[in-house]
Amino acid sequence: MKTKTILVSLLAGSLLLASTAFSPEPAARPADDTELALHMKEINKGVRGLQKMLKDAEQKDAAIALLSELEGHALAVKSMKPAQLVNVPEGDQGDFMTGYRAAIIELLGGMLEVELAVAEERSEDAMESYKKLQKLKNPSHKVYKIKEKK
C-alpha cells in the first residue's frame, strides 16, 4: 500500500514536471488575446468604419466622436508592453520600448490630424491623413508584434 502511494506520487510529480517543462513560455502567448491586442482590435474596427464617415459631411460629429474613442485606445496602449518584448535581448529592450512608443505616438498624432481636418471641414486633408494612418499598421507590426508560432 505504502509502495503504491509512493509510486503514485512519483508519477504525479514527474507528470507535473513534464507539463511545466513543455508548457509554453509567455513568449508563445498569441498576440491577439493580450490587453494591448484588444485595444488594437477596437482601433481596427474603428478605422475601418471611419472611411465611410469621412466621405459624408453629415457624419462629421459621429466621425469626431469615433476618433476621440480611437485616440483613447491609442493612448491606453502607449503605456503597455508588446508581447514581443520578452524576445528582445535585455540590453535592447529600452530602445525597443522607445521605438514602440514613438510608433504609437505617431498613430495617435495621425488620429488627431484626421480629427482636426474633420472638425475644420477640410475633407481632402482628412482623407489624406486617414490614408497615412492606415499605412502605419504593417511596418509597425513587423517590428513590434510577436511572430506567431504556427
Please report, as ranges, the residues that interact with ligand HEM according to CB under 6 A.
31-32, 34, 36-37, 40-41, 43-44, 47, 82-84, 100, 103-104, 107, 133-134, 136-137, 140-141, 144-146
- Cell digits for 114? 484626421
- Cell digits for 21? 517543462
Rg (CA), the chain: 23
Nearest residue (CB) to ligand HEM, 129 versus 144: 144
Nearest residue (CB) to ligand HEM, 35 versus 121: 35
For the CB of residue 39, give the shortest distance to ligand HEM in the complex, in Å.
9
Please say whether the beta carbons of 25 and 146 come within 8 A.
no
For the CB of residue 23, give the shortest distance to ligand HEM in the complex, in Å.
19
For the CB of residue 128, give the shortest distance to ligand HEM in the complex, in Å.
15
Nearest residue (CB) to ligand HEM, 13 versus 49: 49
Task: Please enumerate in sequence order all residues whose Cβ is within 8 A of that of 110, keeping only pairs 6 or more positions apart, or say none.
Answer: 129, 132, 133, 136
For the CB of residue 34, give the shortest distance to ligand HEM in the complex, in Å.
3
- Cα distances from 127 to residues 45, 94, 99, 113, 137, in angstroms, run 17, 35, 26, 10, 17
Nearest residue (CB) to ligand HEM, 13 versus 115: 115
Q: Is residue 72 within a helix (H) or strand (E), and if so which, with residue range?
A: helix 60-78
